[in-house]
Amino acid sequence: MGLLQGERRRARLTRIYKILTREAWDEALAQGEYRGSALDLTDGFIHFSTAGQAQETARRHFTGQAGLVVLSVDAEALGDALRWEPSRGGDLFPHLYAPLSCNLVLGVRAARLGRDGAPVLGALTP
């Protein structure tokens, strides 16, 4: 995908998603912000996915993990701290280079495990 196409696609997206444990989300609520998982902290940014990327992210990185939730966030509300960078297969993924303020989270839903052990996220709004 060329940069211009990526820019157009990004302009249409309004929501991005973060998969994490309920425990991590509860801790974030107590602190008022989510600073990221161990991987996020190592990489220096919070990994997010678009609606079209989230289920594969769940399968690859969270299979077999119970007690997960999916956060829905308005991408535009994150401002310049959100960057779209190539990742899996060259696709652009949203990366947040700042803590996520809990008051920017639009919704939280549980992600149950499917029969294959992968989290089932259900329909997500682009």
- CATH number (domain holding residue 83): 3.20.170.20
Examine residue 121 and state whether it is found in any structural domain, yes or no. Answer: no
Residue 63 lies in a domain: yes
pLDDT number for residue 9: 46
Answer yes or no: are the C-beta atoms of 18 and 47 closer than 8 Å: yes
Domain-embedded: residue 77? yes
> Looking at the domain assignment, is residue 82 inside a domain?
yes
Q: What is the count of structural domains for the chain?
A: 1
Residue 13: the pLDDT is 60
Q: Are 54 and 85 in contact (CB under 8 A)?
A: no
Through-space distance between the first and last CA atoms of the chain, rounded to whole angstroms: 18
Q: What is the pLDDT of residue 14?
A: 86
**Within a domain: residue 13?**
yes
State the residue range of the domain holding 72.
Answer: 3-113
Is-above-0.85 flag for pTM? Answer: yes
94: number of Cβ within 10 Å: 25
Is residue 124 assigned to a domain? no
How does DSSP assign 106-123, residue by residue? EEEEEEEE-TTS-EE---
Q: Each residue's pLDDT tens digit in the chain (126 positions)? A: 444 444 444 445 689 999 999 999 999 999 999 999 999 999 999 999 999 999 999 999 999 999 999 999 999 999 999 999 999 888 999 999 999 999 999 999 999 999 999 999 999 998
120 in any annotated domain? no
125 inside domain: no
* Four-point Cα dihedral 103, 51, 35, 106, nearest 10: 10
Angle at CA 16, nearest 5°, toward 10 and 21? 155
